[in-house]
């Protein structure tokens, strides 16, 4: 039994663990400069928005609501990722960014990490408008009151990055568990945040399907060798 568990852990997390450990041991904090910048920016926004003089300024540059004009929401979306939600503890947002962004930066590179993070966040932002248009009677809809909900924070980006990195490094069960957890979240409490997480996952799954399709075409339709996930080394940038 123990051998089976160790073998599963080696297959599921071995490549991911080795990549992260090697980068941390050899480069230490220099392995995740973008992540450290994101953590500092998130902490700065948290401090500023809790000041009387700073709250409105943070709202003006990073607060997104579905009732806002689309152009304004798109303009604010990049910074909205780093504005912690006021109704949640900031340490949760900081821990999410440090852990998931850090692993992603090491494993897939900083620019790809940022790209996928913004893709997931933008998918959630756009879904909110679609969901409100569908209305509460639809399984994918939202009540009109959600148009006034301030929609900020890194959670959609974190979920999207987790799914992508799990796929990229062959941690299929872990990625599936993330998806199942988000589905359960919506079943327990079907709020805006939960459904945005599913929208973020959907956007990332589309990206994964496109990349997998391109990879198969480049390989001439030949799949991985028996007993292996792929004979190609991980792409890290």
**Spatial separation of the C-alpha atoms in residues 52 and 179, rounded to whole Å:** 39
- The whole-number pLDDT of residue 190 equals 80
pLDDT surpassing 50 at residue 89 = yes
Give pTM, 2 decimals: 0.87
- The whole-number pLDDT of residue 80 equals 93
**Spatial separation of the C-alpha atoms in residues 28 and 35, rounded to whole Å:** 13
- The whole-number pLDDT of residue 237 equals 38
150, 85 contact by CB (below 8 A): yes
**Spatial separation of the C-alpha atoms in residues 139 and 135, rounded to whole Å:** 9
Using one digit for the tens of pLDDT, what is the confidence trace for 110-121?
A: 999 999 999 999
Using one digit for the tens of pLDDT, what is the confidence trace for 204-223?
A: 999 999 988 887 777 665 44
- The whole-number pLDDT of residue 219 equals 67
Locus of tokens 């039994």: 1
Using one digit for the tens of pLDDT, what is the confidence trace for 53-79?
A: 999 999 999 999 999 999 999 999 999
What percentage of residues in the chain have a pLDDT greater than 70?
92
Q: Which two tokens stand for residue 225?
A: 């060798």
What percentage of residues in the chain have a pLDDT greater than 90?
70
pLDDT surpassing 60 at residue 235 = no
């Amino acid at each position: 039994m123990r051998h089976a568990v160790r073998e599963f852990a080696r297959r599921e997390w071995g490549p991911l663990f080795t990549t992260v450990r090697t980068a941390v041991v050899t480069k230490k904090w220099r392995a995740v400069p973008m992540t450290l910048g994101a953590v500092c920016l998130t902490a700065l926004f948290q401090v500023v928005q809790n000041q009387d003089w700073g709250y409105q300024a943070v709202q003006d540059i990073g607060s997104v609501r579905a009732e806002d004009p689309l152009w304004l929401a798109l303009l604010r979306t990049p910074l909205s990722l780093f504005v912690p939600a006021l109704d949640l503890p900031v340490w949760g947002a900081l821990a999410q960014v440090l852990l998931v962004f850090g692993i992603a930066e090491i494993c897939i590179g900083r620019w790809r990490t940022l790209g996928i993070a913004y893709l997931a966040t933008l998918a959630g932002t756009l879904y909110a408008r679609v969901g409100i248009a569908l209305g509460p009677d639809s399984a994918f809809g939202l009540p009109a009151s959600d148009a006034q909900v301030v929609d900020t924070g890194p959670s959609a980006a974190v979920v999207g990055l987790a799914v992508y990195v799990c796929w990229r490094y062959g941690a299929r069960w872990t990625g599936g568990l993330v998806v199942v957890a988000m589905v359960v979240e919506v079943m327990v409490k079907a709020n805006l945040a939960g459904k945005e997480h599913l929208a973020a996952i959907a956007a990332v799954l589309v990206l994964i399907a496109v990349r997998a399709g391109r990879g198969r075409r480049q390989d001439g339709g030949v799949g991985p060798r028996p007993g292996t996930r792929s004979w190609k080394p991980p792409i890290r940038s």
